[in-house]
Structure 1
Amino acid sequence: MKLIMIMRKKLGIDITNAQIAQLEKNLDNLDLEAAAEEEKLTRHDVMAHVHVYARLCPLAGPIIHLGATSCYVGDNTDIIIIRDGLEILLPKLATCIHYLTNFAEKYRDQPTLGFTHLQPAQLTTVGKRACLWLQDFLMDEKALSRVKNDLRFRGVKGTTGTQASFMALFDGDEKKVKNLDKLVTEMAGFDSAFIICGQTYSRKVDLEVVSALASLGATTHKMCTDLRLLANMKEIEEPFEKSQIGSSAMAYKRNPMRNERCCALSRHLIALHSNAANTAATQWLERTLDDSANRRITLAESFLCSDALLITLMNILEGLVVYPKVIEKHIAEELPFMATENIIMAVVQAGGDRQVCHEKIRVLSQEAGAQVKILGKPNDLVERIKKDEYFAAILPQLDKILDPSTFIGRAPSQVSEFIAEEVRPVLNKYAGKIIDKPVVLKI
């Protein structure tokens, strides 16, 4: 419609006001059922709609689709939908970042066991761990924003991208053809169109979009897997409603079903990346139609899956529950072993021999380890140290040496610096767009 009006009013093609008025009058009167029946006959989706529209507008019928090709309609529409879809997703991602930021700030100083190889390692803080997740989400925001900002309109290019049909319409006037392309692009809300394309815009565009969305899926899967592991340890839980049932058989269960849902959706989203990559790789010359059916599924599912993912994530992150006493209990079980080097250093500073102290600690640690692993008893290394006269000189310092807050390094400061320098500038972009009351998506 815009194309026809531009060609007449600005570029001089012979199109009457009556034709334009008839097209406008019937714009919302399209019979989709009739178009579906027409498609059964023509086996062509765009031409089915053109034929139905032409029957509604007999005066304007001869000029509908003038100079255009199906990909003028389909590909330009897809680019608009991709842009609008990203504009829907990005504020939801920013909302997830917002809630996760609040969580990181709240627990910036809360010591917790770090894990490498899923084995207890040096302490970190709950807030610092949340920043690991946050950093990945910031990368997703950057990737999706870049993809959106890099989008270009296909524009008015004709059947193989050469604009030959429009050159014929404008009697070889290249300036008018370029002007038409520019005007349509601007009316669609884009700053630029591809100079070069075949019958379609490059399917690398789809690949970049789906790749960024799949990367969001990877980020989400990693974080939600971490939360599932922490739920197993009873350290952190997703929101659990008062009347919620965890298991039909085991009434006590509090299954992390939202995080499990996110992992399930994320795996599907990640898998869609290969579809987009294979479609881009297998386009022949100026185009081949084996992209069409695939893209209709892959693009739609990528956006719908991402939307469901972010809605669920907002609900999780807005209501995460932390159990500090459980975290402290787990630290207490492991910290005596981690503190042995600090104990040795304290003994040396008090005049002891490092090698002698090391051997003492080694023997006591092995004995305490046997209590834990063989007899299933609590870690009693501290009690063993307190009973051994060799360590009498450092006993007044022992509680300080075993203070978890002395084992977290710069973690709290790192949280504050990261949020101030990297997170806040991103959130500022979405001022007024953060969603206040996320709801859980029922799937």
Structure 2
Amino acid sequence: MEINKNQLLRFTTAGSVDDGKSTLIGRLLYDSKSIFEDQLESVTNTTKKKGQEGVDLALFTDGLKDEREQGITIDVAYRYFTTPKRKFIIADTPGHIQYTRNMVTGASTANAAIILIDARNGVIEQTKRHTFIASLLQIPHIIVCINKMDLVDFKEEVYEDIMSQFEEFASKLLIKDVRFIPISALLGDNVVNRSTNMDWYQGAPLLHELETMHISSDINKVDGRFAVQTVLRPQKEGFIDYRGYAGRIASGIYRVGDEVSVLPSGFTSTIKSINAGEEEVQEAFAPMSVAITLTNDIDISRGDMLVKTNNQPEIEQEFDVMLCWLNNEAAKPRAKYTLMHTSNEQKAIIKKVVYKIDINTYDRIRDDENLAMNDIARVTVRASRRLMIDAYRENRNTGSLILIDERSNETVAAGMIV
């Protein structure tokens, strides 16, 4: 298979504290020669000041530690690097359990997830939590890096045991592709170069897997979904009668002459023109931002959706969502939140907690209405008005939502419609 050298792979890294995530990213950047000379010089000098020899790889990414110690809010740090075969974006998220919410952010657009396991500790709760989130978000590829193999004498039986532990619980999840690699990020074994200490491992090193991994588009090309963000009524010469509906195509293809339905009203019309910036085009597709005009003058406003008449989403006011609770404060029963879905913003409540997930066993916990930070649960949401929705497994854009606290304006939860 020929690799597109301009193709971009987004991947997220997840692991518990001190699993060696910073060292792994540093090793990837260092051994793939993706470090600028001034960065290398700075890290080398800092390493010397700490009384260490060589280069402390973790320093390439550990700026977040200083921020945490100063009380600065930590979000997702994005790292960029390029090899002769592919371009990469790494979504680097903190490993502490209180920052699990950040993994949801970092993983939401990822093509692959690297899940790090300390060879001395094996599968732990954070491993299961991160894997479950990856499966919820339908990340197509998971690479399990069993790190610190140098601290267990590079023993194959340790690797095999952890691989069995992982496969046992992951078999309960909807994961398409799982790959295992025994590594030592500190020494560089199986990160960019093959390990001479683990000749029993016949697979490829991590970078080769990332460079050759097939990336399939997660954009739904079938279902036409165009959420209106704003109505354009320019008052200048040549545009007096212009009424365009601007937004970003969430999925599908729109062509001049297509019949569309305006939801939730249900009125139908035909696409008169499509503008992509200054250019008028005959067709547009996801994820393009465009302005569409219709042959009929219909009352359309922000939050409405233009869809193909013969292919429509569900229109519901009450529906079930797999919800990741992200906030420090627990959810309050029947509290009102601001719900954001595509370009739609309205009030909503969590009507019922159907069940929560026990992250260790993946059992469903019923009759527990409490939602605390890091809880993952299936809930029933009721919105103030009807929404145009699809299941997340069919359409990421129209199948996802967030809840915002009205008082603090903080995002308290991320949800995937089921």
Question: Quick check: which has more Rg, 1 or 2?
Answer: 1
- Structure number with higher relative contact order (C-alpha < 8 Å, ≥ 6 residues apart): 1
TM-score by length of 2: 0.26
Q: Which has the higher helix share?
A: 1
TM-score by length of 1: 0.25
